[in-house]
Every structure is written in structure tokens, then in C-alpha cells.
Structure 1
Amino acid sequence: MTIDVEERSAHKRLMLKYIVAPLALLLAAGCTPQIIPASPEPAERPLKIASWNVEFLAAKDGTGCEVRAPEDYAAMRRIADGLDADVIAFQEAENVAAASRVFDPARYAIVMEERAGAPSGTCGGKHPEAQVIRQAVGFAVRKGIDFERHPDVISLMLGNPQLRSGVDITLRPKGKAAIRLLGIHLKSGCFAGSEAKACPVLLDQIPALEAWIDAAARGPDRFVVLGDWNRRLALPGDTVWQDIDDAEPAYADLHLADEGKAPGCDPRYDSFIDHIVLDKRAAADLSAFSETRYAFGEKHYSDHCPVAVTFRR
């Protein structure tokens, strides 16, 4: 049988129809590459700022008014790591070497006040033979976060080398608003009222502190004052709180992060003396306040527990 050219062309077109069409259906059904959308990026890490008085933290084992062994330092580092904070203000560390035993230098940059101090005498109490060591204020700043250090606030010392200065930094976390931080440790012994022996000293520190607050309130950045205030600011009618929370200038309208909360660190105390105080701008970004407590029956590695705040941005 003879098939002319036109018939052969028609035959080829018909064969292609029966081959290509099912193949197209097959590809459409399951053989085409599946486009998987990229996983969303993890939520932006919130900014967390903490404070912890580490109670006579010494560079060497067995020294200072709170005598510690290597396992105590290791336990304190676990607590510090567990905070997972971007910045930790600390108080009562002897020096950078002491602070580095608790705040991992691979994770944090250590900044401490320049005041040399003049420690002298023995500790008394449970370690009467131990020598007093330097008690200094500082910050542990998570590596990778830019910050600027300002001059220490030496006005808080009132000319006395035994009184602590303030450590003043501006934090510039990536993707977040800058925030200025002042780490402090005020005179101990005037926890309320004005009659205690230590009160004239602490009350003399307050105008210097208020001057810093007022200057920061006029500045461009939100700010936080945190540390061991040695004062129960949340007590009704506290005069120190009334002095600093005067809304003059406007951003000096302050917020006490622990307001309305009771500490659980030590059952003897029902009001905080470790405070995180925020200006009006920082308070608007506040997400949470927390206190890290020692486990039931666990040794208290310091006579203070860490407190922290988390910001939305």
C-alpha cells in the first residue's frame, strides 16, 4: 500500500497527539518540580537587660567576704548563662578577672568602673578573718552588640573612694532603638525612711543621680538606671522615688519595673532593693519583668537574685 506525503504528515501529527498529551498530563500530575516556600526567618530576638549583685565576687578562690570554691563559681556561671541576657549589670565584683568567672568572656565583653577603691579591714560576720576586697560596678555586654562607653558617673561617690561610681554606656543593638544604661550601687543601710545611720550618705547621692537622669531625659535616647539601689523604692510614699520621678523634664516620668511585684529570693524580704528603672520612652517598649530565683533547697550563691526586663524592640 502506498501512502502519500500528506497522509504521512497527518499520521505523524496524530501519533504526537497520543504521545505528548498523556506525557503532559503525567508531568502536571506529579513530575513537575514542587516549589517550597522558604522558611520564615526566626522572630527577631527581644532585647533583655538584667541586673545581679554577685556579693563580694573575688578573683581567687577562698578570698573576700563571701568565700567561694570553684564549684560555686561554676554554678554562678550557669545562672548567668541561663539568664540569656543581652546585657547584665553587676555589682560587687573585685575586678575583670572576678567578673569573667561568672560572665563567660567568650560570650560577654566586661566593662567596669575605673574607681580603684580603697578596701581595708576584715569582713566580720561569718568570715571574720577574711579581708575586704574591692566592690565594683560593671556591665557584661553580649559580644556582637555595639555599645559606647561614657565617662563614669563619679558624682555618686561624693568624693569618697569607698562609694561606687556609676557605669554609663549606650547600647546600639542591631535593628533596635539605642538605649542608654546607667549601672549603679548606692550606699547600703538606708532601705527606707531617713533615720538610719547610712541615710545621710545615700540621700546625698540622690541629687547626683537625679542630675544624670534629667540630663539623659533631655537626650535623644531612651534610658534605664539599674542595679542595687539599696532602697525599697516601691514602698508607698518613698521620698527617693518621689524625688527622681518628677517628670521634669518630660521623659523623667519614670517607671519602676518591679512595681506591684514582691521578691521571692529571700523570704525575709517583701520588697525589692535591686531595681530596673525606665524612662518614659523605654517603659513604652517594656514587655516583661522577671526575677530568677534559686531552686528550692539550693545554696544561695549570692545574697541577691538576678532581675531582668525584656523589651519589644
Structure 2
Amino acid sequence: MRLLACAGWLVAVLATPAPHGATARTIKVSTWNLDWLTARAAGDPALPPGLHLRSEDGLHQLATYATRLGADIVGFQEVDSPALAARLFPPARYQIVMSDDHVVQRVGLAVATGLTVTRHPDLSELDVYAPDAPHQLRVGLDVTIDDGTASLRILIVHLKAGCRNAALADRRPACRTLARQLTVLDDWIAQRQDEGVAFLVMGDFNRNLTPADPFFRQLETDGPLTLTTAGRASPCWGGTYFIDHILLGNQARTWLRPDSLRVLTYDTQDPALAPDLSDHCPVSVGLEIP
């Protein structure tokens, strides 16, 4: 895999004037796992023992990076409430939409105020655990974004951890769970392929997706997808393979601005300082919406 060329934080994708007579605009779309962003107190039974809780300074730093990111649409993961999301994505600029499940690590979306958001039912089937299981999995957030001329269906996901590279037939519990989630995600994508709508799936897949990965190939059963992170590795925290991905389907594949994949890295690259930031960096691409 080739490391995405960058040093320090990478600047926002800037809108490029469209040719005379064209009406396309470039919007920046990003996914960002915010790593247990919660205001719950230490010892809360919903939190793992010894979890590092964010300080006010940590929240301020995250808000500063959110401003640097400057994205129009941000799919985020591991956020406990809309109020906390609004600390990073203020209501003067963003609308906040979040999943309705009751886990701490909820998924959500921050959308620029000039865009219209239509909410669809959460993809609750991604929680493949039994209702009486001691812990539940994250559901998917399903919305349509409209700018008045074009629309984009978006699904935000945070899939099961623990099976980044193993075969889908691996019998470990994490891999078996991820394989069940794959079936749900594949069905959602197939429905969008059949409808012919522009769509995007982004979030923390907890999987090192590649075009040859059986997980990704299964998602392409009903039509081609563009894996925007294909052939690259992330510079986040000194270099790693992507598990945060943005997938494009149907006409959204043609909207991808070439070479627009960006990773906004933190000013510090000392992993010891990660707890007040996040163990994930924001990943983004530019889409030229007709």
C-alpha cells in the first residue's frame, strides 16, 4: 500500500469554479471516529474500566481540528450525544443528526446548514446481537442530503472490531459477527443499486478494505463501487492502513474529484497524546455535485 503523501494537517478541498455554463460545486465529505467522546463520569457502567475521559482542553482541541477540516458533510462515530457533537460542529454552521440507539458509541452526521437532510429509519439490522446480549452493536444512520439540484443517499456505519484482515469464514466470534453485518450492508447497497440513486457509505469499517478483499467484493455483487482509499495507507499517528473508508455507488462514483483523498493529521504525532484527541484522523474526499 502507498502512504498518502502528506505532512502535518492537510488542507480542505477547495471548491473549483466550474467551466462556463456548468453548475457543479465541490463539497467536502469526511468520516471521523472521535474515540469514546462522552460526558459521562468515570465509573459509569456503560463505559469500559479505565477509559480516559476528555478534558475541556481536549474538547477544545478537537473543535479546532473540526474547524480546520472544514467539511460540508462529516460522518462521525463514537459520540454519546448531539450536544457533544455540537461542541465540535457548532449549530451556526452545522445540523447534527444522530442514530437513535442507546449505546455510548453512537454514529452521526454533521451537515452544512445550506443542505437539506431527510432522515430514513436507522439501519438497526446492523446490530446483529440478540436483544438480551450484555452489549449491543452500533446501528447505521441513513439519510438523504439534497442541495436543491441533486441528492445523495448516505449511510454512516461503525462495524464490529477484531477482524481487520482475516477470512470471512474465520470462526472467531468477531469475524462471524462481521460476516453477519456484511450481509446487512450488502442488502442495503443492493437496494440503492436497484433504485439507481447516488449513494455513499462511510465510517469505521474496522476492516482493511482493498479491491481484492472478499468483504469488499461481496459489496460489489450488484454493481461496482468506488473505494476511495484503495491503494493508499493513512499517515495518521505515524502511518497505518485505512479502516475508515468512504465508498461511492451509482452516479456518485462519477462525482469523485480526482486525487482529492485527504487525511487531516494532528500537530503532534506522539501516540501518548492520542487520548485527548482521537486514535483516528478525519478522512475526506471532494465530490463535484452536478
User: Normalised by the shorter chain, which TM-score bucket?
Assistant: 0.7 to 0.9
Q: Does 1:224 align with 2:206?
A: no
Q: Does 1:307 align with 2:283?
A: yes
Larger relative contact order (CA 8 Å, sep ≥ 6) = 2
Q: What residue identity is the alignment partner of 2:225?
A: L
Residues 66 and 217 (structure 1 numbering): CA distance in 2 closer, same or farther, change over 3 Å?
A: farther
Q: What residue identity is the alignment partner of 1:264?
A: P
Q: Distance in 1 between matches of 2:268 and 2:118?
A: 39
Deviation at 1:260, TM superposition (A): 1.3
Q: What residue identity is the alignment partner of 1:293?
A: T
Residues 198 and 268 (structure 1 numbering): CA distance in 2 closer, same or farther, change over 3 Å?
A: farther
Q: Distance in 2 between matches of 1:114 and 1:83?
A: 26
Deviation at 1:54, TM superposition (A): 0.1
Worse overlay, 96-105 or 61-70: 61-70
Q: Does 1:47 align with 2:18?
A: no
Q: Distance in 1 between matches of 2:217 and 2:197?
A: 23
Deviation at 1:277, TM superposition (A): 0.5
Instruction: Kindly indicate whether the alpha-carbon contact (under 8 Å) linking 1:193 and 1:239 is maintained by their aligned counterparts in 2.
Output: no
Number of aligned residue pairs: 250
Q: Distance in 2 between matches of 1:297 and 1:265?
A: 8
Instruction: Kindly indicate whether the alpha-carbon contact (under 8 Å) linking 2:196 and 2:250 is maintained by their aligned counterparts in 1.
Output: no
Correspondences of 1:117-266 after superposition (within 5 Å): 117=103, 134-160=104-130, 162-175=136-149, 177-194=150-167, 195=170, 196-234=172-210, 237-246=212-221, 248=222, 252-266=223-237
Q: Which of 264, 275, 282 lines up with 2:252 in the alignment?
A: 282
Offset from partner CA, 1:161-188 (integer Å, 9 cap, x none): 610110000000144x211100000011
3-state secondary structure, aligned to 1:75: helix
Question: TM-score, normalising length from structure 1?
Answer: 0.75
**Larger Cα-atom Rg:** 1
CA RMSD of aligned residues (A): 2.1
Instruction: Kindly indicate whether the alpha-carbon contact (under 8 Å) linking 2:197 and 2:250 is maintained by their aligned counterparts in 1.
Output: no
Worse overlay, 194-203 or 75-84: 194-203
1:272 equivalent in structure 2: 242
Q: Distance in 1 between matches of 2:217 and 2:262?
A: 24
3-state secondary structure, aligned to 1:46: strand
3-state secondary structure, aligned to 1:105: coil
Q: Distance in 2 between matches of 1:97 and 1:68?
A: 15
Q: What residue identity is the alignment partner of 1:138?
A: G
Tell me which protein shows more helix as a share of its residues: 1
Instruction: Kindly indicate whether the alpha-carbon contact (under 8 Å) linking 1:182 and 1:224 is maintained by their aligned counterparts in 2.
Output: yes
Instruction: Kindly indicate whether the alpha-carbon contact (under 8 Å) linking 2:265 and 2:282 is maintained by their aligned counterparts in 1.
Output: yes
Q: Does 1:59 align with 2:39?
A: yes
- Structure 2 unpaired stretches of 5+: 1-16, 19-23
Runs of 4+ in 1 over 4 A off after TM superposition: 42-45, 60-64
Question: TM-score, normalising length from structure 2?
Answer: 0.80
Q: What residue identity is the alignment partner of 2:178?
A: L
Q: Distance in 2 between matches of 1:268 and 1:78?
A: 22
Q: Distance in 1 between matches of 2:282 and 2:288?
A: 20
Instruction: Kindly indicate whether the alpha-carbon contact (under 8 Å) linking 2:98 and 2:106 is maintained by their aligned counterparts in 1.
Output: yes
